[in-house]
Amino acid sequence: MAVALVTGASSGIGAAVAIALADAGWDVMAAGRDEARLEEVADVSDRIATWTGDLTGSADCDELVADTVDEFGGLDCLVNSAGILLRADAAETSDDDWRDTMTINLDVPFYLSRAALPHLIEAEGNIVNISSYWGIQAGERATAYNTSKGALILLTKAMAKDHGREGVRVNVVCPGGVDTPMLAAGADEEEMDTEEFLEMVASFSPNGRIATPEDIAGLIVFVASDAARQVNGAVLTIDGGLTA
């Protein structure tokens, strides 16, 4: 029996990952901020438990990992999906916006990974971080986001090197456009109709489509599994060829 902890699990990619892992036989702690939406995710499978809270500091992250281990008796995989996207160039980015973006997109994955490590070493488990193709190449008007997602890729590589010999794998998945509330918010930013906006984003990709959250979840279920035992420190793009 394997146990996964998934953040950002009340919506989008995190929700799809929690459900896909449960379908694949994992016990899942689905962590998020919206209790009602988390309950909807948990209703899909009796393998899913929920944890509601805002993740900001290391104490929250230590508590979430401890609660997961208390609930299921161990931890085999951490999926860091919680994140925020701020559309702003450097001149437009306030101190608070910068710090909030770094906190949830970079600090929290680090705090959770550090707290999870002793359990992952014991289980020979793994971490899957979710960065973005904007962590590889900069998107316009997203300075803090680009920076946080680029740093998350190096956090992944650093931990993969340091902890590989302890049996822990650390990988990062970099999606292109994915049809989630985060992407839909872009339509409002651009003052476009949502459907028109999604069509425009799809047209950027060589295969002409936007990913579903389930597309991303499928890759993560594979990376989390023993079938991917030789995959460590990998930056896995899943973007229809956008970064090719």
Ligand X SMILES: NC(=O)c1ccc[n+]([C@@H]2O[C@H](COP(=O)([O-])OP(=O)(O)OC[C@H]3O[C@@H](n4cnc5c(N)ncnc54)[C@H](O)[C@@H]3O)[C@@H](O)[C@H]2O)c1
Tokens representing residue 105 in the block: 């997109």
Our finding on whether 12 is near ligand X (CB under 6 A) is yes
Among 6-14, 19-27, 38-46, 111-119, which window interacts with ligand X (CB under 6 A)?
Answer: 6-14
| DSSP one-letter string for 55-90 | --SHHHHHHHHHHHHHHHS--SEEEE-------B-G
For ligand X, what does the binding mask look like between residues 53 and 72, x meaning CB under 6 A? -xxx----------------
Number of residues in contact with ligand X under rule CB under 6 A: 26
CB count in 10 Å sphere of residue 38: 24
Our finding on whether 217 is near ligand X (CB under 6 A) is no
Rounded Cα distance between 205 and 183, Å, is 15
Q: Is 145 a catalytic residue?
A: yes
Strand segments (E) across 81-141:
126-130
Name the active-site residue from 135, 145, 148, 160: 145
Which residues 112-171 are close enough to bind ligand X by CB under 6 A? 130, 132
Q: How large is the C-alpha radius of gyration of the chain?
A: 17
Our finding on whether 11 is near ligand X (CB under 6 A) is yes
Where on the chain is the footprint of ligand X (CB under 6 A)?
A: 8, 10-14, 32-33, 54-56, 81-85, 104, 130, 132, 175, 177-178, 180-183
Query: What residues are annotated to the active site?
Result: 145
